Amino acid sequence: MHGTLGRILKLYKPYKRIVIFALILEVINIVTRLIGPRLTATVVNDVITDGKYEMLGGLCIAIMALTVIRSAGNYIRAMSFHKVSQDIAYDIRTGLYDHLQKMQWEFYDKNRVGEIMSRMTGDLNNVRNFLCNTFYSIFTNSFCFVGSFVFMMFMSWQVTLMVLIMAPVIALVAWKFNKKIRPVFREVREQNAVLNTRTQEDLSGMHVVKAYAREDYEESRFEHDNRNLLNKNLRASYIWSNYMPFMDMLSQLCTPITLLGGAIMVHLGHMNIGELVGVTGYIWMLTNPMRQVANIINASAQAVTSAEKIYYYTDLGASIKEPEDAVSPEEFKGHVEFDHVTFAYGDKPVLRDICLEAKPGETVAVMGATGSGKSTLITLLGRFYDIQQGSIRVDGIDVKKQKLKPLRQHIGYVQQESFLFSDTIADNIRYGEPDADMDRVRQSAEVARADEFIDEAPHGYDTVVGERGMGLSGGQKQRTAIARAVLLSPSILILDDSTSAVDMETEYEIQQRLKTVLKNRTTFIIAHRISSVKNADQIIVLKDGAIAERGRHRELMALGGIYAGMVRDQMSSAVKVEEAV
C-alpha cells in the first residue's frame, strides 16, 4: 500500500509549484479558522464581560476579513487541485495508452478489452479523485487537528486532553475499517472489469447473439454479473454504513466531554467564560479530522486499489523490444530465412524445427490443415511473437536484432480476419501511410479489385465503413485489406487466407495484378484452394507444426503425398458438383 501511495503522490511532481502554492493557501485558510475562536473569546471576555464596546467594531471587521480571505483561498485552492488532478489524469491516460501501444500481441491475447477499458476509466477516476480531494483533505485535516490542538492547549490543556481520550479509540476503529474495506473495494473493481468486459463482448458480438436468438441467455449472464457487482457494492456500503455512524458518534462525544470538562474548569476558576466559548469553537476543528479518517481511508483505499491495477499494466514491460543497437538492412529486398525455428504459445508447442528460405521475388505458399500453424509461422516474420529456438532472418539480419518499425513497415500483412477502422475507405486503405495521395489509394484499390465496389459506394472513397467494417461484405472487407497492404508497396507481402471470401475469378485477377505491381517482392500466400497456390515457386505443407512436404506443384503431385491428396479431394468434389449438375 505504501509503495503505491508513494507512486501516486509522485504524480504531483511536474505540478509541484502549483500544488505547493495551493497548500500554502490552505495553510493561510486554516490559520484564519484557528484565529476565529480566539477572536470570539476576546469578544466574550473583553467586550461582553469587561464592557470594552469600543473594540467590537474592529473585532467584527477582523472576523469578516478572515472570512473573505478564507473564501478566496478556498476558491483558488479548489481550482488549483481540480486543474492539477485533471492534468495528471490526462498524463496517466496518455501514458497508459502509449504503453498499451507498445504491448505485444501476447498481451492482447491474454487481456480483455473491457478490462483494459475499465482501468482507463473507472480506476483512473479513483486515482484522480484521490489527487483532487483526498490528498488535500489529508493535509487540511492533519493541519487542522494539530493547529486546533495547539490553540486549545493554550486555552485549557486539561479540557484538550480530556477530548483527546477519544483519539486512540477512533484510530483503532479506523484501522479496523481500513482492513475490512480494502479487499471489498478490490472485489468491486474486479467485478466492474468483468461486467465491462461482458458488456463490451456482447455488444461487439451482437450479430452472433441475434443470429442464434440468444438474447435471453446473454441477459441472464449479464444479470448474473450485474447482481454480483450490486452485491459487492452493497457489501462495501454495508461496511461503510456500519462504521461511519460509529465514527461520527465517537467524534461527536467530544462536544459533551468538552462542555462538561469546560464547565468544571470554569467552576474551579481555571478557565474563564471566553476561553470556554473559544474552546467549543475548536471542537469541530479537532473532531472533524477524526470523523474524516473513515472518508480518507475509504478514498485512499479505492485509489490504491485502482492504482495497483493501472500500475499492473504499466509495470508489465513490453516483452518484445528491439535491442539498443538495433539495425535495419541497408535495403529491404524481401529475403526471408527460417533457420530451425521452434515456437510455442506459452507451453503449447506449435511449430517445430522449421527451415525455409524465400528469395526476393519468390512466392511461397503455405498449406496445411486448420490449426497446423500456418498463421503462426507468418506472424513470426514481423516478430509479433518471439521464437524459442532457431532464428528468423530478413535480408540477412535476425529479426531480433532489427528495428521493429522499419521491419514491420516493409511487410504488407493482410491478416486472416481483416479489421477495418470506423473511418472512410480511403483512410483505411492509406492506414499504413496516411500521407499517400488519392492516386495511390486508387491504384492500390484497383490492384485489389476493390475499386468497383468503392465506386458504387454512396460516397465513393469517402464512404465511412461501420465499426469492424460492418457495412461491407466479407469479400469487400478482404479486398480493402489487401489494398491497404499493397499501398505500402512492401518488400514482403503476406496474404493469410485473404481471398477466401473472394470468387476464384476475382482472386486470379488480383493475383495477376499483384504480380505486376509487386514484381521482385516476396509473397507468402496461405490458402486452402489449390488454384490459389498452384503457381507458387515453393509450396510448403505444414503438418502438426512441422514441414511435411515442400516443392513446386508438379513435384508435390509426383510425390503423391498430402498435397497430391488435397488436389485429388478438391478435384473430385469439383467433378461431383459437375456430375450433379
Ligand X SMILES: Nc1ncnc2c1ncn2[C@@H]1O[C@H](COP(=O)(O)OP(=O)(O)OP(=O)(O)O)[C@@H](O)[C@H]1O
**Would you tell me which residues interact with ligand X (CB under 6 A)?**
109, 345, 348, 350, 368, 370-376, 416
Q: Which of 497, 482, 478, 510 is nearest to 368 (CA)?
A: 497
Give the C-alpha separation, 427 to 400, whole Å.
Answer: 31
Tell me which of ligand X, Mg ion, none is bound by residue 371, counting a contact when its beta carbon lies within the kind-specific cut-off of 5 to 8 angstroms.
Answer: ligand X
Least separation in angstroms between CB 102 and ligand X: 18
Least separation in angstroms between CB 414 and Mg ion: 12
**For residue 549, what are the β-bridge partners?**
541
Least separation in angstroms between CB 498 and ligand X: 11
Closer to ligand X at the Cβ: 371 or 466? 371
**For residue 114, what are the β-bridge partners?**
none
Tell me which of Mg ion, ligand X, none is bound by residue 376, counting a contact when its beta carbon lies within the kind-specific cut-off of 5 to 8 angstroms.
Answer: ligand X
* Site track 64-83 with Mg ion (rule: CB under 5 A), x = hit: --------------------
Least separation in angstroms between CB 103 and ligand X: 14
Closer to ligand X at the Cβ: 305 or 498? 498
Least separation in angstroms between CB 19 and Mg ion: 53
Three-state secondary structure of 54-111 = HHHHHHHHHHHHHHHHHHHHHHHHHHHHHHHHHHHHHHHHHHHHHHHHHCCHHHHHHC
Closer to ligand X at the Cβ: 390 or 406? 390
Give the C-alpha separation, 545 to 388, whole Å.
Answer: 14
Least separation in angstroms between CB 550 and ligand X: 16
Between the CA of residue 33 and those of 75, 147, 148, 262, what are the distances in Å? 15, 10, 9, 21
Tell me which of ligand X, Mg ion, none is bound by residue 368, counting a contact when its beta carbon lies within the kind-specific cut-off of 5 to 8 angstroms.
Answer: ligand X
Contacting residue, 375, 402, 491, 499, with Mg ion by CB under 5 A: 375
**For residue 397, what are the β-bridge partners?**
394
Tell me which of Mg ion, ligand X, none is bound by residue 255, counting a contact when its beta carbon lies within the kind-specific cut-off of 5 to 8 angstroms.
Answer: none
> Is the sign of the CA dihedral 276, 279, 280, 281 positive or negative?
positive
Residue type (1 letter), 219 = E
**For residue 337, what are the β-bridge partners?**
357, 393
Least separation in angstroms between CB 375 and Mg ion: 3
Closer to ligand X at the Cβ: 147 or 382? 382
**For residue 348, what are the β-bridge partners?**
345
Least separation in angstroms between CB 417 and ligand X: 10
Tell me which of Mg ion, ligand X, none is bound by residue 500, counting a contact when its beta carbon lies within the kind-specific cut-off of 5 to 8 angstroms.
Answer: none
Closer to Mg ion at the Cβ: 281 or 373? 373
Tell me which of Mg ion, ligand X, none is bound by residue 348, counting a contact when its beta carbon lies within the kind-specific cut-off of 5 to 8 angstroms.
Answer: ligand X
Closer to ligand X at the Cβ: 65 or 316? 316
* Residue 29 contacts Mg ion per CB under 5 A: no
Residue type (1 letter), 234 = L
Question: Which residue, judged by CB position, is nearest to Mg ion in the bound state?
Answer: 375
**How many CB atoms sit inside 10 A of residue 408's CB?**
18
* Site track 384-423 with Mg ion (rule: CB under 5 A), x = hit: --------------------------------x-------
Least separation in angstroms between CB 511 and ligand X: 19
Binding region for Mg ion (CB under 5 A) out of 35-43, 177-185, 372-380, 544-552 = 372-380
Least separation in angstroms between CB 495 and ligand X: 12
Binding region for Mg ion (CB under 5 A) out of 58-66, 95-103, 338-346, 367-375 = 367-375
Closer to ligand X at the Cβ: 299 or 547? 547
Query: DSSP label at 29?
Result: H
Tell me which of Mg ion, ligand X, none is bound by residue 101, counting a contact when its beta carbon lies within the kind-specific cut-off of 5 to 8 angstroms.
Answer: none
3-state DSSP assignment of residue 334: coil
Closer to ligand X at the Cβ: 380 or 394? 380
Half-sphere exposure of 467 (CA within 13 A, CB side): 5
* Site track 532-561 with Mg ion (rule: CB under 5 A), x = hit: ------------------------------
Closer to ligand X at the Cβ: 170 or 366? 366
**b/e code 204-230 from CB counts within 10 Å (16+ = b):** eeeeebeeeeeeeebeeeeeebbeebe
Alpha-helix runs per DSSP H in 103-156 = 105-110, 113-118, 124-129, 135-155
Give the C-alpha separation, 512 to 514, whole Å.
Answer: 5
Closer to ligand X at the Cβ: 25 or 366? 366
Least separation in angstroms between CB 512 and ligand X: 25
- Residues with Cβ within 8 Å of residue 109, at least 6 apart in sequence: 345
**Pair 471, 391: CB distance under 8 Å:** no
Closer to ligand X at the Cβ: 269 or 346? 346
3-state DSSP assignment of residue 486: helix
Tell me which of ligand X, Mg ion, none is bound by residue 373, counting a contact when its beta carbon lies within the kind-specific cut-off of 5 to 8 angstroms.
Answer: ligand X
Please give the backbone phi and psi of residue 300, each rounded to the nearest 5 degrees, phi first: -65, -40
**Pair 343, 350: CB distance under 8 Å:** yes
Closer to ligand X at the Cβ: 346 or 458? 346
Give the C-alpha separation, 321 to 306, whole Å.
Answer: 27
Tell me which of ligand X, Mg ion, none is bound by residue 329, counting a contact when its beta carbon lies within the kind-specific cut-off of 5 to 8 angstroms.
Answer: none
Least separation in angstroms between CB 369 and Mg ion: 11
- Angle (CA) 165-169-174 rounded to 5° is 140
Least separation in angstroms between CB 107 and Mg ion: 20
Binding region for Mg ion (CB under 5 A) out of 109-117, 182-190, 262-270, 371-379 = 371-379
Give the C-alpha separation, 78 to 133, whole Å.
Answer: 9
Least separation in angstroms between CB 109 and ligand X: 4
Give the C-alpha separation, 377 to 151, whole Å.
Answer: 75
- Angle (CA) 166-169-175 rounded to 5° is 135
Closer to Mg ion at the Cβ: 274 or 382? 382
Which H or E run includes 298? Answer: helix 273-315
Closer to ligand X at the Cβ: 344 or 559? 344
- Residues with Cβ within 8 Å of residue 293, at least 6 apart in sequence: 141, 170, 171, 174, 247
Tell me which of ligand X, Mg ion, none is bound by residue 317, counting a contact when its beta carbon lies within the kind-specific cut-off of 5 to 8 angstroms.
Answer: none
Chain residues in the site for Mg ion (CB under 5 A)? 375, 416
